[in-house]
């Protein structure tokens, strides 16, 4: 998972309001999805 320091602190810190934490967690998950999608494009594809 991507660890973007400011986003990570907002997502999993206890001081941020509930809505901000929720949106920051979704942004962290979206960034991880985009990274996985980009990596999938560069992996060799094999079929049986």
Name the token pair of 2: 């991507």
pLDDT confidence of residue 7: 80
Residue 1: pLDDT above 60?
Answer: no
Answer whether 28's CB lies under 8 Å from 11's CB: yes
What was the pLDDT predicted at 13? 81
pLDDT score for 44:
67
pTM: 0.67
Kindly give, in sequence order, each residue whose CB lies less than 8 Å from that of residue 13, ignoring residues fewer than 6 positions away: 21
pLDDT in tens, 6-34: 787 888 887 878 898 899 889 888 988 88
- Position with higher pLDDT, 39 vs 29: 29
């Amino acid at each position: 998972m991507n660890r973007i320091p400011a986003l990570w602190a907002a997502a999993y810190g206890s001081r941020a309001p509930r809505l901000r934490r929720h949106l920051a967690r979704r942004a962290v998950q979206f960034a991880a999805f985009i990274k996985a999608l980009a990596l999938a494009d560069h992996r060799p594809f094999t079929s049986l």
